[in-house]
Amino acid sequence: MKFIDSLRISVKAGRGGNGCMSFLREKFKPNGGPDGGNGGRGGSIIFEATTNLQSLADLEYQRNIKGSDGIHGKGSRKNGAAGTDTLIMVPCGTIFYDSTTNNGLADLVEPGDRFLAARGGRGGRGNRHFASSRRKAPRFCEMGDIGEEIELRLELRLIADVGLVGVPNVGKSSILAAISNAEPKIAEYPFTTLSPNLGVLNTGDERVIIADIPGLIEGAYLNKGLGLEFLRHISRSRLLVHVLSFDNYNFDNLIAEFETVRNEMRSYDTQLDERPYFVVGNKLDTVDEPEEIVKTLQSFFDKKNIPFCAISALTGEGIPQLVKQIIKFTNANPRPHSEVRLYALAEQGLEKIPMRQRNKIEIINLHGGGYQVMHKQLEKAVERYDLSQDENVGRFILLLRKYKVEQLLEVAGAKAGDSVTIGYKEFEFYPDYFPPELSKEEASEIQDN
């Protein structure tokens, strides 16, 4: 399967169903009263982490995801059904970013972790909801709210216990095949591995996941070679195994390769420099005097307090010792267990915004002519009120008067016949009010309250 570890998608939750305006019509009940049901809420978009996937390839052809709409309410007090939530499975280790702001939204690590990416719209209320002792026969209802919509950038960082790193063609894939159940592509040329391979080492008590990362070259942290595309996949590994090759052995070149890879990881993320690691010399079968070479390297790494072992993935020499070292580390450093988490988008930070600022009305003079009124409650009213119903028109006018929108528009310079946009609807400005005109100081006070 094609390996994809980064993509952009658009998600839009379902719209809430409309409320119903109806009146009870039954034999012997000539004035049965309002009985319009409420609309159902729209379906939300939810992502869930699973261990059954290792790539984002399943989403490559689902770049636009839309939730199901809620069902409209009906008469006889029948509420509409809620839209079905859309559940999308992603690999463990998937991180979600807002494409517009690049802010991190969620990091799904454990199987079962969930991210509520877009909430379904609230269902509209039927006319029976508005019945009261003063209003016994309301002839209006509400429309359902539009579902949330957001552009997301998904980034996969593999969840592996052990990461195999090194320059190209040192035999990382051969080691992975020798110590796990993986069957990676193996060949005698650089960059045989073009995407990370995962293997599982069964230790009896637990499964150790091992990742073979494509070879790193100088400048990888600047996105040279396969660069940043795969450096991020070692960021979650608990242990790094740095692989060197005895093929065409030269001590100075070998140490230079080692330092190059260490510098690339350090430049990408300083935390990688603090990650536990040990060094493995591979392809022991290609040298004539292995004892002398191993002794030289062992002495060099001992002085730096870096564990070292020599192996041949081809013949199997040293493989049991390598497996023993990996098991020893994983037993001494068990994987931390965390509870399943649910991430949800923040409520736009409203709880941190003072009420005075939250209710502020903003009038924008559009360059193409007309004016835009910016106010959360007015925009919600435009969405919810069915303005083809006379009583809803009256409710909307009362709301405009409450916030003195007509006076504020005149202060901004609006004239009769000008276009005024609120939310997604456009109106013509014909002021119909009787209070005295406002000064700019009074208008500013209203906008701030």
Residue 90: phi, psi to the nearest 5? -135, 160
Tell me the range of 67-81, 344-358, 415-429, 435-449 where mean pLDDT is highest: 67-81
- Residue 259 tokens read as 């330092």
Mean pLDDT on 57-81: 93
73-99, pLDDT tens digit by residue?
Answer: 999 999 999 999 999 999 998 999 999
Residue 389 exposed, middle or buried by CB count within 10 Å (0-12, 13-18, 19+) = middle
| Contact status, residue 270 vs residue 250, Cβ threshold 8 Å | no
At residue 2, the pLDDT reads: 66
371-374 and 362-365: which strand pairing? antiparallel
Phi, psi of 253 (to 5 degrees): -65, -40
Q: Provide the pLDDT for residue 351.
A: 41
Residue 194 scores a pLDDT above 80: no
Q: Is-contact 317 284, C-beta < 8 A?
A: yes
Q: Residues, the chain, total?
A: 449
State both tokens at 228: 């940043």
pLDDT value for 440: 52
CATH dotted code for 6-156: 2.70.210.12
Q: What is the average pLDDT across 285-300?
A: 86
- List the domain boundaries for the chain: 6-156, 162-332, 353-447
The pTM for the full model equals 0.75
Count of beta carbons in the 10 Å neighbourhood of residue 447? 17
pLDDT in the model for residue 207: 79
Mean pLDDT computed over 179-186? 67
Which are the contacts of 345, defined by CB distance < 8 A and separation ≥ 6? Answer: 105, 116, 117, 118, 119, 148, 150
Is 79 in contact with 38 (CB distance < 8 Å)?
Answer: yes
Instruction: Give 442 or 411, the one with higher predicted confidence.
Output: 411
pLDDT band at 436; cut points 50, 70, 90: very low
Secondary structure of the chain in HEC code, one letter for each residue: CCCCCEEEEEEECCCCCCCCCCECCECCECCCCECCCCCCCCCCEEEEEECCCCCCHHHCCCCEEECCCCCCCECCCECCCCCCCEEEEEECCEEEEECCCCCEEEEECCCCCEEEEECCCCCCCCHHHHCCCCCCCCCCCECCCCCCEEEEEEEECCCCCEEEECCCCCCHHHHHHHHCCCCCCCCCCCCCCCCCEEEEEECCCCEEEEEECCCCCCCHHHCCCCHHHHHHHHCCCCEEEEEEECCCCCHHHHHHHHHHHHHHHHHHCHHHHHCCEEEEEECHHHCCCHHHHHHHHHHHHHHCCCCEEECCCCCCCCHHHHHHHHHHHHHHCCCCCCCCCEEECCCCCHHHCCHHHHCCCEEEECCCCCEEEECHHHHHHHHHECCCCHHHHHHHHHHHHHCCHHHHHHHHCCCCCCEEEECCEEEECCCCCCCCCCCHHHHHHHHCC
394-430 pLDDT, tens per residue? 889 888 988 889 989 988 888 888 999 998 899 999 8
Q: Is 230's pLDDT higher than 90?
A: no
How high is the mean pLDDT of the chain? 83
The per-residue pLDDT for 217 is 54
Most confident of 84-88, 231-235, 287-291, 346-350: 84-88
**Residue 17, token pair as written in the block:** 């169903």
Encoding tokens for residue 312?
Answer: 């041949």
Non-local (6+) Cβ contacts of 333 within 8 A are 238, 239, 276
Strand-by-strand arrangement of the 425-428 sheet: 362-365, 371-374, 419-422, 425-428
| pLDDT (mean) for 295-311 | 91
CA distance 190 to 170: 9
pLDDT of 269 higher than 70:
yes
Right CATH for 353-447 from 3.30.300.350, 3.40.430.10, 3.20.20.70, 3.30.70.20: 3.30.300.350
In CATH terms, 162-332 corresponds, of 1.10.10.10, 3.40.50.2300, 3.40.47.10, 3.40.50.300, to: 3.40.50.300
Predicted local confidence at residue 99, as pLDDT: 92
Q: What mean pLDDT comes out for the span 367-392?
A: 89
Q: Which of 137, 141, 135 is nearest to 34 (CA)?
A: 137
pLDDT tens, position by position, 307-319: 999 999 888 999 9
Pick the residue with more confidence: 248 or 385? 385
pLDDT band at 188 (very low <50, low <70, confident <90, very high): low
Band of residue 6 on the pLDDT scale cut at 50, 70, 90: confident
Percent pLDDT > 70 in the chain is 84
